[in-house]
A and B are shown apart, each in its own frame.
Chain A
Amino acid sequence: MYGEQGIKLVQHAKRTLNLSHLPPYQTETVRAVTREVRDLDKDVTELLEPFQGSFNPSADQAVACTLLVNHLSMRRNKRCLLAYHRTRTDKLEELVWKGADVVDLSGQQVRGDPNAKDTPTSSLSPQEEDYVRQYSDLLAAYKGQWTDIDLTGSLEPPRDLFIDVRVLKDAGEIQTEYGAITLTRNSQFYVRQGDVERLIAQGYLQKLS
Chain B
Amino acid sequence: MDIDDILREVDPTSSGVPNETSDLQSLTRLWVAERSAPELLEWPSGGLFERINDRIKAQIEKIEILTGDMDPKTNFALIVIQTELERYKFLVRSYLRARIAKIDKHTLHYLSSEELRSRLSETELAYATRHQALLHNHYLSSFLSSFPTQLQNLNDTAGNVSMIDSPDLDAAVFIRMLRDRPVTGQGTDADITLNASNGEVLILRWSSAKSIVEDGDAELV
Question: Is B148 a contact partner of A38 (Cβ separation < 8 A)?
Answer: yes
Which of the residues B97, B127, B138, B147 comes within 8 Å of A37, measured between beta carbons? B147
B219 to chain A, nearest CB (A): 20
A72 to chain B, nearest CB (A): 8
A41–B115 alpha-carbon span in the complex (Å): 37
Residues A146 and B94 in contact in the complex (CB < 8 Å), given A85-B138, A130-B141, A138-B130: no
Interface string of A119-155 (1 = CB under 8 A from B): 0000001011011001100100110011011110111
A10 at the interface (CB under 8 A from B): no
Q: Indicate the size class of the contact surface on chain A.
A: 35 or more
Q: Which residues of chain A have C-beta atoms less than 8 A from B92's C-beta?
A: 146, 149
**Residues of chain A in range 17-59 having any CB-CB distance to chain B below 8 Å:** 30, 33-34, 37-38, 41
Q: List 26 A-B contacts (CB under 8 A).
A: A33-B143, A37-B147, A38-B148, A41-B147, A41-B151, A71-B158, A72-B159, A81-B144, A128-B138, A128-B142, A130-B141, A131-B138, A135-B134, A141-B127, A146-B92, A149-B89, A151-B93, A153-B93, A155-B93, A155-B97, A158-B86, A161-B83, A161-B86, A162-B82, A178-B70, A179-B68
Q: Chain A interface (Cβ within 8 Å of chain B)?
A: 30, 33-34, 37-38, 41, 71-72, 74-75, 78-79, 81-82, 85-86, 89, 93, 125, 127-128, 130-131, 134-135, 138, 141-142, 145-146, 148-151, 153-155, 157-158, 161-162, 177-179, 190, 192
Which of the residues A34, A131, A151, A157 comes within 8 Å of B134, measured between beta carbons? A131
A109 to chain B, nearest CB (A): 21
Residues A146 and B96 in contact in the complex (CB < 8 Å), given A131-B134, A138-B127: yes
Q: Which residues of chain B have C-beta atoms less than 8 A from A93's C-beta?
A: 104
Which of the residues B70, B123, B148 comes within 8 Å of A142, measured between beta carbons? B123
B79 at the interface (CB under 8 A from A): yes
**Residues of chain B in range 123-159 having any CB-CB distance to chain A below 8 Å:** 123, 126-127, 130-131, 134-135, 138-139, 141-144, 146-148, 151, 154, 156, 158-159
Q: Indicate the size class of the contact surface on chain B.
A: 35 or more
Stretch at the interface among B10-18, B52-60, B170-178: B52-60
Q: Which residues of chain B have C-beta atoms less than 8 A from A158's C-beta?
A: 83, 86-87, 90
